[in-house]
Chains A and B, each alone.
Chain A
């Protein structure tokens, strides 16, 4: 039985200028024990898909099940199996951290849960803040409480919707250590993130969404192996020549260009020299998940699915 099964899920939002199709016939499964990544650019439908899974939104058609429980017909059982860390940094300003966790536990019908709440507080570095009002916490601390709230009823399936957006390095490390540990103990983790290096490091399998459709679904290693290209990377203080700009990925001074072989590297360098550019810190490396992602999103490679 899969941990999460999406079956022909479509979602159409009505709008004054005609309907918007946020999800278009999405089907895939996340198996039990997996650390699964759901990637896609803004507006690809990741959060809509997570919202349907969590019961925050309803699919226009199709079915979603958590460990065999349909999220509409058998919503109570499905939600008991699911812990959601929402994307937005939300909190209830009336309560302390401990009160918020006790209340969240009670919503799931789990009472007398203080031993587990104490464990969560300890593992997420929140012991000192247990009796602080939620309003007094920093953004990072509030994010930790959101994680604790998602885990307070000990769900076997954990969904993290861009949990590290805008958080500092220390919290990111703490969070990933904690979630990786939960995964090793058998919990299924479904992660959406914009940080592709996180997805590459953590996720054993990845689905990519584009305009509401699954455009790639494979093991992370297979996705990386599927792109044979190497990347030429250098730093440049002036604009890239037009001949190269169209295919380049530019991040500030850093320029990355796909180069399949030595001849292509030479060709790029000669264009640079002809334009009077002097690249610094020249490196040749393997493509990473970000390159794969960009290739797929630009439609440079055909949709990628596991054989």
Chain B
């Protein structure tokens, strides 16, 4: 224990400069009366709030811009292909395209949210504020993935709200819509978290997005039914988990899809468990964030 009764002369000068000690908070031994969260999810609510606030503060870029992009896709492809293509027997092309665009927006934005937030914090160094806090790996996971789901759903709802006026809306099985939207957004939020943990530079995230996420979403049947593809491409499409997310989601609108929604659910759920499990493990060991 230090000898507090004999401060050195310079310390005495500081005492003189400060004047008599004024209590500016409880001393370490005093009990502090405040509402403090404990347990494995302590702090998760605040981190979720912070992550949602982060994208909401720049919503022009994180919400409005992807809605506009989806509307442009609809205008261009709908204009070119409406009347020339019908899907599932009687569904018009624009009607077919809308759920695909909504789900694509949900997936891409859920991925973008967690991946960009984490890589920004790593590169600017402010991740230290989280690293020194008593947040468990569950708290990190729920907050980052939760905020990704919120952004994905907000953007998806925005795309739906704007595009629904271009074609009649069917809602054959709304439960599938909700289930696949939530499962897809959760998986992409977790995948974004994985990418953010792994990446050390912005261009690695961009590469992940451009060479993996973008091709897998574009080749998943957003713009076409895989039944229209040659057999080889059709077989390849069935290896793409994104195909099942979009196909299952679309079934909720039309009551029909390329494969059974139960098969889609099984594939999506399995992928979800694998990605989330890996994500939780890497967060627990502090992969590339605690050295």
Q: A-side interface residues toward B, CB under 8 Å?
A: 13, 31-36, 51, 54-58, 75-77, 79-80, 82, 84, 86, 88, 90-95, 99, 103-113, 116, 119, 123, 149, 151, 154, 156-157, 173, 176-177, 180-182, 184-188, 200-202, 204-205, 220-221
Residues of A within 8 A of B129 (CB): 90, 92, 103-104, 107, 149
Q: Which B residues from 163 to 178 make CB contacts under 8 A with A?
A: none
Query: How many whole Å from A46's CB to the nearest CB in chain B?
Result: 16
Residues of B within 8 A of A105 (CB): 46
- B234 touches A (CB below 8 Å): no
Residues of B within 8 A of A93 (CB): 124
Cβ A34 vs Cβ B11 within 8 A: no
Cβ B290 vs Cβ A103 within 8 A: no
- B133 touches A (CB below 8 Å): yes
Residues of A within 8 A of B121 (CB): 92
What is the CA–CA distance of A183 and B49 in the complex, to the nearest angstrom?
34
- B53 touches A (CB below 8 Å): yes
What is the CA–CA distance of A267 and B1 in the complex, to the nearest angstrom?
44
Query: How many whole Å from A144's CB to the nearest CB in chain B?
Result: 15
Residues of A within 8 A of B22 (CB): 181
- Given A54-B132, A57-B290, A156-B28, CB of A109 within 8 Å of CB of B43: yes
Cβ B131 vs Cβ A55 within 8 A: yes
Query: How many whole Å from A225's CB to the nearest CB in chain B?
Result: 12
- B212 touches A (CB below 8 Å): no
**Nearest 10 pairs of A and B residues by beta carbon:** A106-B46, A156-B28, A201-B10, A109-B37, A107-B133, A76-B134, A109-B42, A90-B125, A186-B27, A34-B2
Query: How many whole Å from A86's CB to the nearest CB in chain B?
Result: 5
Instruction: Give per-residue flags for B34-47: 1 if the beta carbon is below 8 A from chain A beta carbons, else 0.
Output: 11111000110111
- Chain B interface SS verdict (over half): loop
Interface size class of B (residues with CB under 8 A): 35 or more
11 extra interface residue pairs, beta carbon distance < 8 Å, beyond A75-B134, A88-B125, A94-B53? A34-B1, A55-B132, A57-B290, A84-B128, A103-B49, A103-B50, A110-B37, A157-B28, A177-B18, A181-B21, A181-B22
Query: How many whole Å from B35's CB to the nearest CB in chain A?
Result: 5
Query: How many whole Å from A159's CB to the nearest CB in chain B?
Result: 9
Chain B residue nearest to A134 in the complex (CB): B126
Chain B residue nearest to A202 in the complex (CB): B11
Chain A residue nearest to B291 in the complex (CB): A57
- Given A79-B133, A109-B42, CB of A90 within 8 Å of CB of B128: yes
What is the CA–CA distance of A31 and B2 in the complex, to the nearest angstrom?
7
Query: How many whole Å from B38's CB to the nearest CB in chain A?
Result: 6
Residues of B within 8 A of A106 (CB): 43, 45-47, 49-50
Residues of B within 8 A of A58 (CB): 286, 290-291
Cβ B132 vs Cβ A84 within 8 A: yes
Query: How many whole Å from B153's CB to the nearest CB in chain A?
Result: 21
